[in-house]
Amino acid sequence: MRPTTLELLETMDHVLETQIIPKLPDEHSKARMSVISQIVRTVHNRVRLEGLTLATDNADLAAVIAELRGEGGGAAEAAYIPVEDLAERNNQLKEELAEIMRTLDDRDDPQRTTADATIRAYLRRELDRELELCSLPTFGSTSADLPLV
């Protein structure tokens, strides 16, 4: 999905540093905005590293708890898949879908109609997922009021 969270944060920081901070009227305002820019960079690093850190800590913690309980080996934690890897796989799959779409006209009418319906249904679900990502409240976690159409 583009832009990624990291790309959004990088763009935000770039805009702050190149377009907003230089145009602020006084050093006090510039210093306060520089703090905001540093917070954006901190969030960038946290988003980049948090999943792997949590997955590693969860596996470590599960092993410690299993050892303390006298259980052998501990509960296996699911391996963390970095968002970057998931995004790369998503891009590959979308390229495959685009290739299939380029060949739809070569199919018989019933096959083409079925394939078109399948692709349209997927695209609708993809748009709904994107809408949910873009429309969640800034603070909070409920998507109950989102108008998913």
More confident site: 56 or 37? 37
> Would the pTM count as exceeding 0.75?
no
pLDDT surpassing 80 at residue 142: no
Lowest mean pLDDT segment, chosen from 32-46, 49-63, 82-96: 49-63
Q: Which residues, in sequence order, are CB contacts of 142 under 8 Å at separation 6+?
A: 136
24-44 pLDDT per residue, tens: 999 999 999 999 999 999 998
pLDDT, residue 38, reads: 92
Rounded distance between C-alpha atoms, residue 147 and residue 127, angstroms: 12
pLDDT surpassing 80 at residue 143: no
Rounded distance between C-alpha atoms, residue 97 and residue 22, angstroms: 45
pLDDT, residue 34, reads: 92
Q: Which helix (H) or strand (E) holds 37?
A: helix 27-68
Q: Within 13 Å and on the Cβ side, how many CA atoms surround 54?
A: 10
Q: Which of 136, 144, 134, 132 shows the shortest CA–CA distance to 5?
A: 134
122-135 pLDDT per residue, tens: 999 998 888 876 66
Rounded distance between C-alpha atoms, residue 104 and residue 106, angstroms: 5
Q: Which of 41, 44, 102 shows the shortest CA–CA distance to 33?
A: 41
